[in-house]
Amino acid sequence: MAFDYDLFVIGGGSGGVRAARVAAAEGAKVGLAEESRMGGTCVIRGCVPKKLMVFASSYREGFGDARAYGWDVEDGNFHWPKFRGHLQSELDRLEGVYRSLLRSSSVETFDCRARLSDPNTVALADGKTVTAKHILIATGGRPVRPNNLGNAGLGLVSDDLFNLEKLPKSLLIVGGGYIACEFACIMNGLGVEVTQFYRGAQILRGFDDEARGLVAEMMRAKGIDLHLGTNIVQMGRADADHTVANTATGSDAAMGASMQEVQAVRLEDDASNGGPVWVKSTNGRESFYDDVLFATGRIPNSSDMGLEEAGVEIGRRGEIVVDKYSQTKVPSVYAIGDVTNRVNLTPVAIREGMAFVETVFKDNPTAPDHDLIPSAVFTQPELGTVGLTEEEARDIEPVDIYCTSFRPMQSAFAGREDRVLMKLVVSRDTDRVLGCHIVAPQAGEMIQLAGIAVKMGATKQDFDRTVAVHPTMSEELVTMKAPIRSA
C-alpha cells in the first residue's frame, strides 16, 4: 500500500518536532499537525516563559544587594505590561524558529487538530485525510483543575499566568509540586502577596526530604505564606464590596465537570463579575484573593483522538501505554513525551524522539535511557537533583550521607539570611555516588555538570580527589570529608 507519508507526527512540541526533523533528514516524507502554537508546552506555555519570569522576579532582591555592595541605586518598580509584551514577542520569535526549522527540513505542517481514523489514517480538522506508514503521537500534557470542587472554574491554571492583563495584588496557589512552588516564588518576587496551600505534609513530594525542607524554609523566609496540610473546601466569587455569591463546595453537582465545562464557567464568570475570590480552607480560615491558581497536576493530552478506537491502549491517567521503544500495541503507532507519562521533561521527550527515529528509520532498535536524569526546580533558591534521594537509597542498601548547609558568600555579605545545601548520597559498599542534591542559586547549572559524574558512576573518592574551585558554593561537593550520618 502506498502511503501519503512515511511518518505523520501529531504534536508540534519539542519531542515531535525533533523526531519529524531527524526522520526527514533520513529521507522520510514527514507531515506534522499542531492544533495550537508550534513549539508546544515548553516553548509557548511552560519552561521558556516560566524561566524568563524567574529571571524577572529575581531582580527584586538585587536592588538591596547592590546597595550592600556599594551601588547607589533605589528599589525599582516592576512593570508587568512591559515585560508581558516583551515576553510575547520572544515567544513569537521562538515559534517562528520552530516553523523555520520544520520548513528547512522539508516537513509539511498542518495548523489544525488531528485524530486517528485507523492505525494508518489521520483525519485533520480542516477536512483533509492523510495516510502514513508510521504515526507518532507527541501531544504532551495539560494542566487540570480539581474535579471535586464545583467552582474550580473560578481559578487559573499555569497556562493562564503568561497571558494575565495585570498582576493580581494577592494570589492563592493550590498545590505543592514544582509548578506550584516555582510560581509561588515567581509571583512573590514580582511583588504579589502569595499564599500557598498544600494538602501534604511537605512540598515537593518525591524530592529529597532535607532538600525540600530547606526550599520550604527559604520560601517562607522570603514572604510566601505557606500552609501545609491545607486545602480548599469552599470558594466563590465576591462582589467588589466582598459580598460573597456563587459559592460551591466539593459536593455540588459540578463535581467531575469536564475541562471544557470548567473553562466555560470561568469565562462566563469573568465576563459578569470581576470581584475577588472568597476561599474557605480546611483549617477554617476564610480569605479573599484577587486570583486563585490551581497547580494540582497535569494529565496526558490523549482524549478525543480516536486512539482507543484504533486499538491503542490508554492507561488509568490517560497516558498512552508504550513499550521500551515507544511503540503502542498498534504496530504503526508510537508515542513519546508527556502523553506517555513516563518522565515528563522536555529533554526526555527529545531523547525519546531521537530513539524513535533510530529504531524505525535507521534500523537500530534504541530504547531511551530514563536512568539518572538530572532535573531542576526553579524555585528561589533553586533545587537541582540527580539520582536517588536519601530516603530511596536507604531502602535499597546501606548509605553514607555527606551534607552541608551554609550561608553563601554573596548573599551573606549583603546581609541576607539565605542558606544553601550540598548533599551526596553514597553507597557504603561500593563508594559510588548514588545521588546529588543541591539547593542554591544556579543549582540547575550545577546539577547539569554533577549529573555527568553521577551518570558515569563516579565514587566519593573521585569527588574527593577533584581539586576545589575556590571560592564557590559548589566546591563543597568535593570538600566534604566525613559523612554526617549513615542510613
Q: What is the CATH number of the domain that holds 208?
A: 3.50.50.60
pLDDT at 254 over 70: no
Please give the Cα distance from 144 to 296 (Å, whole number): 7
Is residue 219 a contact partner of residue 228, using CB atoms and an 8 Å limit?
A: no
With respect to residue 229, please indicate whether it lies within any of the assigned structural domains: yes
Predicted confidence at residue 244, as pLDDT, reads 72
In a domain, 368, yes or no: no
The verdict on residue 272 lying in a domain is: yes
470 is catalytic: yes
Residue 419, domain CATH? 3.30.390.30
Same structural domain for residues 306 and 290? no
Distance, in Å, from the CA atom of 251 to the CA atom of 249, rounded to the nearest integer, reads 5
Answer whether 318's CB lies under 8 Å from 137's CB: no
- Whether residue 123 is found in the same domain as residue 258: no
Q: Do residues 264 and 353 share a domain?
A: no
Which of the listed residues 296, 313, 347 is the one where a domain comes to its end?
296
How would residue 268 be classed by pLDDT, with cut points 50, 70 and 90?
A: very low
Q: Are 274 and 267 in contact (CB under 8 A)?
A: no
Per-residue model confidence (pLDDT) at position 201 = 98
Please indicate, yes or no, if residue 463 is contained in any of the structural domains.
Answer: yes
- Same domain? 410 vs 446: yes
Structure confidence at residue 237 as a pLDDT band (50, 70, 90): very high
Residues 60 and 106 in one domain: yes
In a domain, 116, yes or no: yes
304 shares a domain with 288: no
E strand or H helix at 403, and its extent? strand 399-406
168 and 254 inside one domain:
yes
Task: Report the distance separating Cα 408 and Cα 278, nearest Å.
Answer: 40
Q: Which three cell numbers stand for residue 296?
A: 494540582
107 assigned to some structural domain: yes
d(CA 400, CA 241) in angstroms, rounded, equals 58
**Are residues 357 and 388 located together in one domain of the fold?**
no
Q: Are both 163 and 288 inside the same structural domain?
A: yes
Task: Indicate whether 291 and 156 sit together in one domain.
Answer: yes
**Which position has the higher pLDDT, 239 or 452?**
452
**Could you give the number of structural domains in the chain?**
3
Closest CA to 146 of 273, 252, 225: 252
Tell the burial category of 444 from Cβ atoms under 10 Å away from its Cβ (0-12, 13-18, 19+).
buried
Residue that finishes a domain, picked among 281, 296, 311: 296
165/191 same-domain check: yes
What is the average pLDDT score of the chain? Answer: 94
Domain that holds residue 288: 152-296
* AA identity, residue 139: T
Same-domain status, 395 and 268: no
Worst-scoring range by mean pLDDT, 224-238, 253-267, 310-324, 403-417? 253-267
> What pTM does this model have?
0.93
Would you say 156 and 293 are in contact if contact means Cβ atoms under 8 Å apart? yes
Catalytic residue among 79, 134, 227, 470: 470
